[in-house]
Amino acid sequence: MKEAKGPLNGVKVLSIGTSIVGPWAATLLGYLGAEVFKVEPPQGEFLRVLYPHQNKLSTAYSSTNLNQKSAGLNTKEEEGMNAMLNLAKEADILIENFRPGVADRIGLGYETLHKSNPNLVFASSSGYGDDGPMKNLAALEPHLQAFSGMSGITGYRGGDGQLIRFTHLDPTGAIFFCGLIMLGLIERERFGHACWVKTSHLANALANMNNKVSEVLLANTQGEPLSSGSSTSAPNHCYLCEDNKYLAVSCDNQDQWSNFCNAVGLNELTEDPRFIKNTDRINNRDELDGIIKEHFIQKPSRWWSLILTKAKVPNSFDLCFDDLQFHQQILENNFLVEVDGEHTGPFYVGGLPWEFSETPPKIDTSIPVPGGDTEKAINEGFENKTTEISQEQSDSPEYPLKNIKVVDTTQGYSGPYLSFMLAEAGAEVVKVEPIGGDWSKELSPQTDKGVSALYQSFNRNKTITQIDLHTDKGQLEFESLIEDADILMEEWTNNSPESKIYDYDALKAKNPALIHFSLSAFGHRGPMKNKPGSDLTIQAMSSYLRTMGDVGEEPIRVGADVVSTCTAAMSFIAILSALYHRIQTGQGQKVNSSMLGTMMAIKTLQWSGFSDPDSWEGNFCKNETDGSNFGQRTKDRSIFATPSPALTEEKFYEMIKEFGMYEEFIKDEDLVKNWWNSFGVGTKASHARPLWDKYLTKMTSEEVLEIFYRYEVWAVEFSNIEELKNHPQVEFLNMFEKHEDGTYLRAPWKTPWGFPKINPVKF
């Protein structure tokens, strides 16, 4: 067994970020072998006090700061600042996620540090972007869910949009941020240009929803909550069965639809003109779901799952943490890992979402003690003292993946979105589709080009060819493509003919530098390794459905296809890490990633909070039972508000007098004692929500926001994607680019190298 040094062995990372986005991006780099120093003020950052606690320390803090050395430095004093500057001088990467201008203000800005370390990749992730009218606003998780439009497409059918009660955009923002950091490192190693790379929480939220945004931009549709349904395919829903359990079922393509009808005994539906094609089924979704609901209630969920699995139709039970702890698929893929520390005790985190054949990553199961490496930071710095890079320094930016050839055989959502991001960084992508094309062309909604918005968006800037890999001619054509490829992407099951013909060892013999990337739904080992998956079924299995809607009611899914986009972003990190290792050694390798592994890793905050908390307090304990969260309702739309540090108790009571709720509020002793926690993400917010709704619904959102802003409360309105198209803050992100073929969403980063010119899919 190879020593677990990771593909980033030798890379030095200085993390001065706070909360989750910066620290967890650093943790992922640490998993991949980088040497990471986390530096925070001696008193610690805010996240340490967030509930739930285990042994009086926040589980969110402990679980998102693994594989790091921890130091507490007072940069207002000479010793602390000197130590920080010395670390920055030695580092390859600096990570910060402050508001724009804060790093400069504390003496740790890009210009200052770049002078002493011209090889430093300086990485920033702000809240709403580094410019624009909202650049200085706080961007807590619910603010971004509300403002980005994600909440607007999540909720009960025909009802208001609602918040995901799990902190989704923070860890996924870290994933997209980490991928951008890797691009900066790759550009430096290949072209000698070390620079400042930027992203934002808002940009990453939009990237989470790329195909939903594309439905608005390219197909002129407006998103809406669909309960557990999907805007792209049908049937795609959670159905109640005879045993009073819901089963998540998806038919993403025509083969799955035919197999579904045959397996469940509804063959007549394949001839019904209402349901012939996917677009027909979407247009007649209610009738179709009604038929299936009546059918599924007649037998237990176990029966339906058995026959659908045999028919290769994606399905999954709605699982909880207790189910997952002992689930064979989770155990065989190590998707839950127990970490431990004397100061915390043991708890679970999501396991590694990738496998590398030559450079295995590793989760250090020893939890860092906050500030435990302060003396080392002051007196020693990084262990690795080498400062060499592969190329001479240059002032000229280049696309990081310029002249990198990618052969992509994947279809649908995750794989094409991954190769889309590679193309956005300058890679030459050849997409190999089967005869007849990628099945995602038939998804809904359709554009005026006669294909789905998803296909048109995800497959631009690629050379697309159709090859029959089951013929001798097709195999010869394919082999000529991959003989000089840098990266091969596939999603073949290990019992497929393709996986046997194009085994990695055989490919390596002909192309030793090849990075062979394999994507699966449920992981590359275990009883479900060859089972097809979907966004809905992975959301169900990873407990996502439990953090929306109400206990005992029909499940709700995240309206955006977050499993697919986040899997692509997590896989992006893996491919770039393998490429970095190849630059250093010339060695290629096999890299595996999965949809379930990605979502299990993202839910680290949940698993750590559930493990053994001191009390059942805080979002990561209560989010499965708190009920639907619509923010604060007003007369015309919902908003989300949370107190800023400037809100004093005196100002709070002045504010609620303006809302007219003071007299009723002070009658509740529990709320009076916990006034700070009575709204936003506070521990008493759900208890106080009916009271806020009673009074705020008498006012318009504009009136409510005006009062909140005067009292320095952080608040935003719930937006929809259509409204964001022309919002001034989104314009500053430069993510929407108009082309004669339509408006496209670009990748979520701002860099000196920019983007390649849009090259639409040829029809």
pLDDT confidence bin for 709, thresholds 50/70/90? very high
The answer to whether residues 69 and 38 touch, using CB atoms and an 8 Å cutoff, is yes
Q: Quick one: pLDDT at residue 388?
A: 67
Could you tell me if 155 and 300 lie in one domain? Answer: no
Distance CA 389, CA 10 (A): 11
- In the chain the first and final C-alpha atoms are separated, in Å, by 48
Share above pLDDT 90 across residues of the chain, in percent, rounded to a whole number: 94
Q: Are 354 and 53 in contact (CB under 8 A)?
A: no
| Mean pLDDT, range 508-529, rounded to an integer | 97
Residues 6+ apart with CB under 8 A from 133: 728, 729
**Is residue 643 included in any domain, yes or no?**
yes
The SS3 assignment for 188 reads helix
Do 142 and 263 lie in one domain? The reply is no
- The answer to whether residue 253 scores a pLDDT higher than 70 is yes
147 in the same domain as 266: no
CB of 145 closer than 8 Å to CB of 163: yes
| Any domain includes 176 | yes
Residue 725 resides in a domain: no
Residue 73 pLDDT exceeds 70: yes
Domain for residue 417, yes or no?
no
Same domain, 35 and 144: yes
Residues 604 and 611: their CA atoms lie apart, in Å, by: 11
In this prediction, residue 1 has a pLDDT band, given cuts at 50, 70 and 90, of low
Q: Are 172 and 261 contained in the same domain? A: no
161 and 281 both lie in a single domain: no
Does a structural domain hold residue 335?
A: no
Domain presence at residue 449: no
Residues 365 and 309 in one domain: no
The answer to whether residue 753 scores a pLDDT higher than 70 is yes
- The pLDDT of 528-543, averaged and rounded, is 98
Contact (Cβ atoms closer than 8 angstroms) between residue 730 and residue 736: yes
Range of the domain at 178: 12-213+357-392
| Residues 145, 57 within the same domain | yes
Run of H or E including 673: helix 669-673
Task: Report pLDDT for 493.
Answer: 95
| pLDDT, tens only, 126-158 | 999 999 999 998 899 999 999 999 999 999 999
Q: Is residue 339 part of a domain?
A: no
* 191/69 same-domain check: yes
Report the pLDDT value the prediction gives residue 358, as an integer from 0 to 100.
97
Q: For the residues 49-74, what does the mean pLDDT come to?
A: 97
Whether the upstream peptide bond of residue 346 has omega within 30° of 0, thus cis, is no
Residue 393 has pLDDT above 90, yes or no: no
- Give the tens place of pLDDT for each residue, 74-107: 999 999 999 999 999 999 999 999 999 999 999 9
Give pLDDT, residue 389: 67
Quick one: 186 and 37 in the same domain?
Answer: yes
Q: Is the domain of 43 the same as that of 155?
A: yes
pLDDT at 390: 64
Q: Where are the alpha helices (DSSP H) in 32-140?
A: 59-63, 78-90, 102-105, 110-116
Q: What CATH number corresponds to the domain at position 160?
A: 3.40.50.10540
Mean pLDDT over the full length of the chain? 96
Q: What distance in Å separates the CA atoms of residue 272 and residue 401, rounded to the nearest whole number?
A: 48
Distance in angstroms (rounded) separating the CA atoms of residues 536 and 289: 15
Beta strands in 93-235 (DSSP E): 93-96, 121-126, 196-200
4 band by pLDDT with thresholds 50, 70 and 90:
confident
> Considering the domain boundaries, does residue 115 fall inside one?
yes
pLDDT of 683: 85
252-281 average pLDDT score: 98
Residue 3's pLDDT band, with cuts at 50, 70 and 90, is: confident
Query: Mean pLDDT, to the nearest integer, of 623-640?
Result: 94
**Token pair for 115:** 């002078």
Which pLDDT does position 304 carry in this prediction?
98
Choose among 27, 62, 624: nearest CA to 338.
62
> Which residues are CB-contacts of 91 (< 8 A; sequence separation ≥ 6)?
12, 13, 14, 37, 117, 120, 382
> Which 3 state secondary structure label does DSSP give 583?
helix
Choose the final residue of a domain: 376, 392, 408. 392
Tally of domains in the chain: 3
What tens digit of pLDDT does each residue of 476-492 get?
Answer: 999 999 999 999 999 99
Range 657-679 average pLDDT: 96
Residue 250, pLDDT score: 98
For residues 166 and 297, membership in a common domain is answered with no
